[in-house]
Amino acid sequence: MKPDDRSFRIALVDDRYVNPPPGGLDALAVLAPAGWGVMQLPADDYPAGIAARVLAEVAEQAEEFSRHGYDFVLIGERDGLADALGAAGLPVPDQITPSDPADLIAFLTARPAPPASTWSWLDPADSAATTDLG
């Protein structure tokens, strides 16, 4: 079994940082090389009913990942997200509205390792023990 390359870190990202306007901050250009997964939040111009369903799905996925020790952050903001996360039993994660890539990188690198990243089965030294099926 190969070691797991996932970072166990997911950013909930405001649409304006996924689809930035000209000159805007492209959070994906920062998150991908830093090893963060992304869950894009619905754009502000989505109809309310559709946005609520998308946010409920995001919250459901976040709850599942949370049970497995993943770390979450919120980049930007989205009306309705706090309610959707609350309905799933989750708080709003630590949040940033970054002004530039350096601001976002500093926020991300200051975070502690998520609980899941310390699981022993992720250690390459332990992989021999888990793959010997004798």
Q: Any idea what DSSP says for residue 116? A: G
- Say if 54 falls within a structural domain: yes
- Say if 115 falls within a structural domain: yes
- Say if 56 falls within a structural domain: yes
In sequence order, what are the beta bridge partners of 95?
A: 74
pLDDT at 5 over 80: no
Q: Note the pLDDT tens digit of each residue in 100-117.
A: 999 999 999 999 888 876
- Say if 4 falls within a structural domain: no
pLDDT at 132 over 70: no
Note whether 38 and 65 are within 8 A (CB). no
For residue 76, give the CATH number of its domain.
Answer: 3.40.50
In sequence order, what are the beta bridge partners of 71?
A: 9
pLDDT at 118 over 70: no
Note whether 103 and 123 are within 8 A (CB). no
- Number of folded domains that form the chain: 1
- Say if 31 falls within a structural domain: yes
pLDDT at 1 over 80: no
| Average pLDDT of the chain to the nearest whole number | 87
Domain of residue 74: give its range: 9-131
Structure tokens at 43: 């754009």
pLDDT at 22 over 50: yes
Q: What is the pLDDT of residue 115?
A: 80
Higher pLDDT, 124 or 38: 38
Q: What is the pTM of this model?
A: 0.83
- Say if 68 falls within a structural domain: yes
- Say if 71 falls within a structural domain: yes
Rounded distance between C-alpha atoms, residue 15 and residue 41, angstroms: 6
Q: Which of 66, 70, 42, 68 is nearest to 54 (CA)?
A: 42
Q: How many CA atoms lie within 13 A of 112 on its CB side?
A: 5
Q: Note the pLDDT tens digit of each residue in 31-72.
A: 999 999 999 999 999 999 999 999 999 999 999 999 999 999
- Say if 3 falls within a structural domain: no
